[in-house]
A and B are shown apart, each in its own frame.
Chain A
Amino acid sequence: MRKQVRLTIDDRQITAPAGTLIVNAAKQIGIDIPVFCYHPKMEPVGMCRMCLVEVGRPIIDRNTGQPVLEDGQPKIQFGPKLETACTTPVSEGMVVRGMSEKAKAGQNEIVEFLLTSHPLDCPICDKGGECPLQNLTMEHGPGKSRFLYDEKFHLEKRVPLGDLIFLDRERCIQCARCIRFQDEIAGEPVIGFYNRGRATDIVTYTDPGFDSVFSGNTTDICPVGALTTSDFRFGARTWELKSTASVCGQCPVGCNIVFNTRREAKADGRIVIKRVMPRQNEQVNEIWLCDKGRFAYHYTENGARLSRPLVKKNGKLEASSWDEAAAIAGGKLRSADGEVVVLASGRLSNEDLFNLKSLADGLGGKALLYTQMGGGDLTARFGVGAGTNFGEMGAGTTILVAASDLYNEAPVWHLRVKGAAKRGATVIVANGRETKLDAFAKYVVRYAYGDEVETINGLQQKEKIGEAITSAENLVVLFGSDGLGLNGTSNLAAACAELVQGRAGKPNNGLIGVWPKANDQGAWEIGFRPTDDLSSELKGKTVYVVAADPAGDDPQLAAALKEAKFVIAQELFQTATADLADVVLPAQAYTERDGSFTSGERRAQRFYAAVPAFGESQADYAITALVADAAGVELADSAGQVFENLVVTVEAFAGLTYEILAETAEQWPVVGRGDMYYGGTTYENTRGLGAHLVGWGERGETASRPRVQEETELRPKEGQWLAVPVTKLYDQGLTVRSSKLLESHIGAATVTLHPEAAKRLGAGAGELVEISLNGTTAQVSVLLDETVSASVALLPRGMGLPISGPVVAGLKKV
């Protein structure tokens, strides 16, 4: 523990650890010292001078080394000038006056100074109502300007930094919070200052502009309306917005968010989502969000969504009623005599998956997880313990990232692991190609695709890396699916589990799966399992497909579904699978209902209904209850009841209640409505931090040693290629491609090759080649990456090509 020092701030005596900055020491006891450039998540720079205070220190007698006393009290000497509270650390006996006339005068003058080149266009500014400058102007501003209005300084008001973020140059007060965020926290310095003095401008020179998936965060911490998102720009006044707590459904990190909603004339009087804001959860996402989480929500409002149940009559899907559709679906499930397959994805909530699993069990059928990533049985057993927090990891912690491109697979984990590395954690990245995390890793292990398991098994034998793993106080292993399919990831998970098996259950120790979907972990815990031969599982069965589009992803699965006995599809959109279905059931988006997700860290978190349901759609768990009722299986049909049934049935959830998930605790830094000047516009967490599932250790189970299965290695012949799947953040997945805003980020299908390999093929960067794999042929454009092996072709998942795992492919120049 650091030495504690005693000091006085505004006549209140406090103790704070040595090294604490005055501004933070004050904040901790509820004293607000105004700031613009200072942000508690970043290094202080003292650029804006807003936090000027009077600082006095005890006079020390040089002979005795003791404070000079006056009337029995140490004599305090105040500096001749004001000091910045954001750069000055506290010291023993210090006296800080932030409210004195001298300090106030200093602060007021800074505001007046800032306002000389600020347009004060609050009535048309998106930040109006939640703007630190607006609030501090009300408190410290002069009320009347001493400057000539006609000489007001004007600059461009609409500068697109990228297609998602706009800059208003004249509103900018040059605090550099955005630039420092990109540099210090995101590790991508893609925006910077150009020129100086009044001509200082924020610029980006990357192509595309502001090339970072964390760009949206800069609008939250901007203390003025200089940076706005193209999504919310001129969208609404902030005080008209209602806020509903939720959890991002795009990846397994489980970032806490808020949906800001408003009733809108443009939307025919419906209540619509106006923006997504981060909600503070220091153990999950701190106060950050990636741009996918912030902008991809539009899919929930896409007008093409299913609004009514459909039933196939005379070979055509026709609108029907819930009663009829549920009766038909339930009747078919009941009469299938156990030949039932429930196929669901981790896009669903715990409640939906539990009801589906209960239905499958009740009918004697199978509950299959639609995924190409295995190992969830191992994360359920060897997952990180309760209390795990990347934000606390530093020296003494080793983090191994195996076969995962975190930047694309789970961006906020990339940011958190990078933060841990900065605090001294040893980060080891093992991958078949260079990823963005490599730059922050202590050790980078490069293997040839296919050697994943061998590589992980060999890590402990390596001198330095082995030492870092075995002697680490804490060890977290994240494994992903870079270049791997179901078998490969299952084996990789087993190899990774061996590294942590003696540690699992302890906080900041264990295994984390970087799943493709938000709630894959929950699906595994509840009992869903993937299968390596889905086609044959589907043929001849009565199939209930929920939140998955196998027919759209893979022509072979489409063929298998055509041979199914009866197909029920429950979806948001009319997918290729829904086209093949006999009954189509319209589901609510997760923004329209209550529920909970289980994050990759095994944290169950609640989300709440933010907007009314689209059309006649119903919540997935409720639809399943309706269908089950017709099939003769009784299930609960409210989220709360389903969760109650879940916790008594599935041991990992034992002891949890909705109330526990909704519990909150004090968090640092302080954010929220009254503290926006300090932490930004991130929302305070008032609706729950979530809770960890019960660990295997606490359940008293003994861990059996995970086994690695033998796999026949794929060896491409001369002239062939080993095509491996990789993850692209913005893909053509249903929840991304249905969001207009992100269209330009998705792009077309690509193949990534080694430059030499591309040369042999006769194709340069950007040129088209023809690829044939899994019975499909398509034209894709070439990207170059000199870190992949020569005969490997990287294909992004979810970009229209059916690639579920490594496969031998043919490539030729068009």
Chain B
Amino acid sequence: MSLAEKYPQEIQKIFAKYPPEQKRSAVMPLLYLAQREEGFITKGAMEEIAGMLGIKVTEVAEIVGFYTLYHDEKAGKYRMQVCTDLPCALRGADKFIEELCGNLGVKVGETTEDGLVTVEAVMCLAACDKAPMLQTQGSDGINYHENMTVDKTLELIEALKKSVA
């Protein structure tokens, strides 16, 4: 089902924000809409968006490639993005992610067997003072979880599992 069929009103709302001759500016909100579907952006969705905006599909893809919050590969329902930059590492983020992965039985970048969570190591999320920290990215948006421990994170995952079920 195409985006236009599935989200006619949302698309209309997005387009209303931009002058018609600058409709290509709508590319980013449309990509977020497309990502809501499966947690990543398919080539088909890029083509549809390119068609809506009158630009080349390669131009849409450039945006997807440049911004790290757009994904082009399938992952778990939630991406757990742990900051492992230097200040976080000094506060134990590297050890935290290692233990978290050990508990979940995955490596960094992999998805848990039930398809719920993908653990990712990312660059600075601007919360150095509350490390170890992570953000979850899912269909409900992006949420910060600060001053985390492995136990707290496992509880969070349980809660996520319940909310999905």
Chain A residues with CB under 8 Å of chain B are: 188-196, 201, 203-206
Given contacts A205-B43, A205-B46, contact A191 B58 (CB under 8 A): yes
**Cβ–Cβ < 8 Å partners of B64 in chain A:** 194
Asked whether B66 lies within 8 Å of A196 as measured between CB atoms, the reply is: yes
Asked whether B56 lies within 8 Å of A190 as measured between CB atoms, the reply is: yes
**Cβ–Cβ < 8 Å partners of A195 in chain B:** 65-66
* Candidates A188, A194, A206; contact of B57 at CB < 8 Å: A206
B62 within 8 A of A: yes
A564 to B27: give the CA distance in the assembly, Å.
65
Q: Choose among A189, A190, A193, A205 the residue with the greatest number of B CB atoms under 10 Å from its CB.
A: A205
B121 within 8 A of A: no
Asked whether B57 lies within 8 Å of A193 as measured between CB atoms, the reply is: no
* Candidates B47, B60, B66; contact of A193 at CB < 8 Å: B66
Known: A205-B56, A205-B58. 14 other contacts (CB 8 A): A189-B58, A191-B58, A192-B59, A192-B61, A192-B65, A194-B62, A194-B64, A194-B65, A195-B65, A196-B65, A203-B58, A203-B62, A205-B43, A205-B61
A191 to B61: give the CA distance in the assembly, Å.
10
Asked whether B56 lies within 8 Å of A188 as measured between CB atoms, the reply is: yes
A196 to B123: give the CA distance in the assembly, Å.
13
A746 to B19: give the CA distance in the assembly, Å.
40
Task: Give chain A nearest CB distance to B51 CB in angstroms.
Answer: 13
A193 to B61: give the CA distance in the assembly, Å.
8
A188 to B56: give the CA distance in the assembly, Å.
8
Nearest B residue (CB) for A192: B62
6 A-B pairs with C-beta separation under 8 A:
A189-B58, A192-B59, A194-B64, A196-B66, A205-B58, A205-B60
Nearest A residue (CB) for B63: A192
Nearest A residue (CB) for B61: A205
Task: Give chain B nearest CB distance to A420 CB in angstroms.
Answer: 22
Chain B residues with CB under 8 Å of chain A are: 43, 46-47, 55-62, 64-66
Task: Give chain A nearest CB distance to B122 CB in angstroms.
Answer: 13
**Cβ–Cβ < 8 Å partners of A205 in chain B:** 43, 46-47, 56-58, 60-61
Q: Choose among A192, A193, A196, A201 the residue with the greatest number of B CB atoms under 10 Å from its CB.
A: A192
**Cβ–Cβ < 8 Å partners of B58 in chain A:** 189-192, 203-206
A188 to B64: give the CA distance in the assembly, Å.
19
Asked whether B61 lies within 8 Å of A194 as measured between CB atoms, the reply is: yes
- 8 smallest beta-carbon distances between A and B, as pairs: A194-B65, A192-B62, A205-B57, A205-B58, A192-B58, A205-B61, A195-B65, A189-B56
Nearest B residue (CB) for A210: B58
**Cβ–Cβ < 8 Å partners of A188 in chain B:** 56
Q: Choose among A188, A189, A190, A194 the residue with the greatest number of B CB atoms under 10 Å from its CB.
A: A194
A79 to B47: give the CA distance in the assembly, Å.
47
Nearest A residue (CB) for B46: A205
Task: Give chain A nearest CB distance to B8 CB in angstroms.
Answer: 22
A205 to B56: give the CA distance in the assembly, Å.
8
Task: Give chain A nearest CB distance to B49 CB in angstroms.
Answer: 11
Nearest A residue (CB) for B65: A194
Task: Give chain B nearest CB distance to A226 CB in angstroms.
Answer: 17
A194 to B66: give the CA distance in the assembly, Å.
6
Nearest A residue (CB) for B62: A192
Task: Give chain A nearest CB distance to B42 CB in angstroms.
Answer: 12
Nearest B residue (CB) for A200: B65
Task: Give chain B nearest CB distance to A493 CB in angstroms.
Answer: 34
**Cβ–Cβ < 8 Å partners of B66 in chain A:** 193-196
Nearest A residue (CB) for B67: A196
**Cβ–Cβ < 8 Å partners of B60 in chain A:** 205
A201 to B66: give the CA distance in the assembly, Å.
10
A189 to B59: give the CA distance in the assembly, Å.
7
**Cβ–Cβ < 8 Å partners of B56 in chain A:** 188-190, 205-206
**Cβ–Cβ < 8 Å partners of B43 in chain A:** 205
**Cβ–Cβ < 8 Å partners of A196 in chain B:** 65-66
A201 to B60: give the CA distance in the assembly, Å.
15
A194 to B70: give the CA distance in the assembly, Å.
12
Nearest B residue (CB) for A201: B65
Task: Give chain B nearest CB distance to A434 CB in angstroms.
Answer: 13
Task: Give chain A nearest CB distance to B36 CB in angstroms.
Answer: 21
**Cβ–Cβ < 8 Å partners of A194 in chain B:** 61-62, 64-66
Task: Give chain A nearest CB distance to B43 CB in angstroms.
Answer: 7
A205 to B43: give the CA distance in the assembly, Å.
8
**Cβ–Cβ < 8 Å partners of A201 in chain B:** 65
A204 to B57: give the CA distance in the assembly, Å.
8
**Cβ–Cβ < 8 Å partners of B55 in chain A:** 189
**Cβ–Cβ < 8 Å partners of B57 in chain A:** 205-206
A203 to B64: give the CA distance in the assembly, Å.
12
A195 to B57: give the CA distance in the assembly, Å.
15
**Cβ–Cβ < 8 Å partners of B61 in chain A:** 192, 194, 203, 205
A189 to B61: give the CA distance in the assembly, Å.
11
Task: Give chain B nearest CB distance to A78 CB in angstroms.
Answer: 35
A188 to B47: give the CA distance in the assembly, Å.
16
Nearest A residue (CB) for B43: A205
Nearest B residue (CB) for A193: B62
Nearest B residue (CB) for A196: B66
Task: Give chain A nearest CB distance to B62 CB in angstroms.
Answer: 4
A756 to B59: give the CA distance in the assembly, Å.
30
Nearest B residue (CB) for A199: B65
Asked whether B46 lies within 8 Å of A203 as measured between CB atoms, the reply is: no
Task: Give chain B nearest CB distance to A202 CB in angstroms.
Answer: 10
Nearest B residue (CB) for A195: B65
A189 to B55: give the CA distance in the assembly, Å.
9
**Cβ–Cβ < 8 Å partners of B59 in chain A:** 189, 192
**Cβ–Cβ < 8 Å partners of A204 in chain B:** 58
A191 to B57: give the CA distance in the assembly, Å.
9
A192 to B66: give the CA distance in the assembly, Å.
11
A188 to B55: give the CA distance in the assembly, Å.
10
Task: Give chain A nearest CB distance to B101 CB in angstroms.
Answer: 23
A203 to B153: give the CA distance in the assembly, Å.
38
Task: Give chain B nearest CB distance to A799 CB in angstroms.
Answer: 27
Task: Give chain B nearest CB distance to A648 CB in angstroms.
Answer: 54
A191 to B58: give the CA distance in the assembly, Å.
6
Q: Choose among B43, B61, B64 the residue with the greatest number of A CB atoms under 10 Å from its CB.
A: B61
A189 to B57: give the CA distance in the assembly, Å.
9
A203 to B57: give the CA distance in the assembly, Å.
11
**Cβ–Cβ < 8 Å partners of A191 in chain B:** 58
A203 to B62: give the CA distance in the assembly, Å.
8
Q: Choose among B58, B62, B66 the residue with the greatest number of A CB atoms under 10 Å from its CB.
A: B58
Asked whether B65 lies within 8 Å of A193 as measured between CB atoms, the reply is: yes
Nearest B residue (CB) for A183: B59
A196 to B43: give the CA distance in the assembly, Å.
19
Task: Give chain A nearest CB distance to B22 CB in angstroms.
Answer: 16
Task: Give chain A nearest CB distance to B120 CB in angstroms.
Answer: 15
Task: Give chain A nearest CB distance to B115 CB in angstroms.
Answer: 25
Task: Give chain B nearest CB distance to A473 CB in angstroms.
Answer: 28
**Cβ–Cβ < 8 Å partners of A193 in chain B:** 62, 65-66
Task: Give chain A nearest CB distance to B160 CB in angstroms.
Answer: 28
Nearest A residue (CB) for B54: A439
A201 to B62: give the CA distance in the assembly, Å.
10
A190 to B61: give the CA distance in the assembly, Å.
10
A578 to B148: give the CA distance in the assembly, Å.
84
A426 to B64: give the CA distance in the assembly, Å.
36
Task: Give chain A nearest CB distance to B91 CB in angstroms.
Answer: 25
A190 to B59: give the CA distance in the assembly, Å.
7
A743 to B55: give the CA distance in the assembly, Å.
28
Nearest A residue (CB) for B47: A205
**Cβ–Cβ < 8 Å partners of B46 in chain A:** 205
A190 to B56: give the CA distance in the assembly, Å.
6
Task: Give chain B nearest CB distance to A519 CB in angstroms.
Answer: 36
A203 to B46: give the CA distance in the assembly, Å.
14
A695 to B55: give the CA distance in the assembly, Å.
43
**Cβ–Cβ < 8 Å partners of A189 in chain B:** 55-56, 58-59
